[in-house]
Amino acid sequence: MIITDNHIHVDNEKGYGAEKVAKIFYNAGGKVMIVLNKPTFDGDLTRSMDQLVRDVERINKNTEVKAFGLVGVHPAELTYLIKFMSLEEAKERIIKAMDYAKSLVENYDFIVGLGEVGRPHYKVSKEVWDASNDILKYCMTLAKDLSCPIQVHAESSERVFDDLYNMAKEVGLDTDKVIKHFCTDINDKIFPSILANKVNENIIKKSLRFVMETDYIDDLSRPGAVLGIKTVPRITKKLLEKGILDEEKVYKIHKENIEKLYDINL
């Protein structure tokens, strides 16, 4: 069976690094990783994107895992940048970096979308909030032009699904290509990527229109954050053993949904 983690980070300096994370994941039963670049908080918004390209190439060359990448500017980077420059300058710098992200999607077949982008999950000023939404809307426009998916980092609320749905509609982006990461339940507005430890019988009874993630950070000073590398395979197998999932449902969640989201063939 194919088992996919839809949101995972690797870090060759602070964590196990790309290859070791992939090998741990594979030994636990995982087969496919969607890897996203981490924020850097150093003003260089494209360096981590370039590193992600190299990391995905290494995983695919040196391990049994099939990896695909998403590139983007984490919304917390805006909060960092405005410590050193005006809000408008920071916004322009992020938009320029997202143009670079677009070029990576165009030039590498294993870079299959944009992410994680979005807006802060913590309280910010109205000016920062509005700027974050402007940047997110620009990212959605890029995704529409690329015909690719976009993984969104945002606050957890009922309102966020309506906001993202309406924003995508406004720019003409297919709402099924808007993935809200760090979800805890099903929603029918956009596509939910649900934290693996929240996937249970109630969710599976509602719908199979979701994918699973850990949001693993790969920082040895924060072991297992947000969830450990092995969590998606472990919970999938546990739900299989209990009869809550069967092979057909696993196929739908981990292969069919992933293929449709990212326009890839597993």
CA distance 3 to 6: 10
Instruction: Encode pLDDT of 36-82 as tens digits.
Output: 999 999 999 999 999 999 999 999 999 999 999 999 999 999 999 99
| Dihedrals phi, psi of 81, to nearest 5 degrees | -65, -35
* Res. 158 pLDDT band, cuts 50 70 90: confident
Quickly list DSSP for the chain: ---EEEEE---TTTSS-HHHHHHHHHHTT--EEEEEPPP-SSS-SSHHHHHHHHHHHHHHHHSS-EEEEEE---THHHHHHTTTS-HHHHHHHHHHHHHHHHHHHHH-TTEEEEEEEE--SS---HHHHHHHHHHHHHHHHHHHHHT--EEEE---SHHHHHHHHHHHHHHT--GGGEEEEEE-S--SSSEEEEEGGG--HHHHHH-S--EEE--B---TTSTT-SS-TTHHHHHHHHHHHTTSS-HHHHHIIIIIHHHHHHT---
Tokens of 171: 């720019």
pLDDT tens figures, 96-124: 999 999 999 999 999 999 999 999 999 99
Sign of the dihedral defined by the CA atoms of residues 200, 206, 209, 215, in that order: negative
Locate 243 and state its tokens: 């009869």
Distance in angstroms (rounded) separating the CA atoms of residues 87 and 81: 8
The residues spanned by each domain of the chain are: 4-262
CATH of domain 4-262: 3.20.20.140
pLDDT digits (tens, 9 = 90+) for 172-224: 999 999 999 999 999 999 999 999 999 999 999 999 999 999 999 999 999 99
pLDDT tens, position by position, 235-246: 999 999 999 999
Its pTM stands at 0.97
User: Tell me, what's the pLDDT at 70?
Assistant: 98
Average pLDDT of 118-131?
Answer: 96
Residue 135 has pLDDT above 90, yes or no: yes
Q: Flag whether pLDDT at 254 surpasses 90.
A: yes
CA-CA distance, 68 to 224, in Å (whole number)? Answer: 22
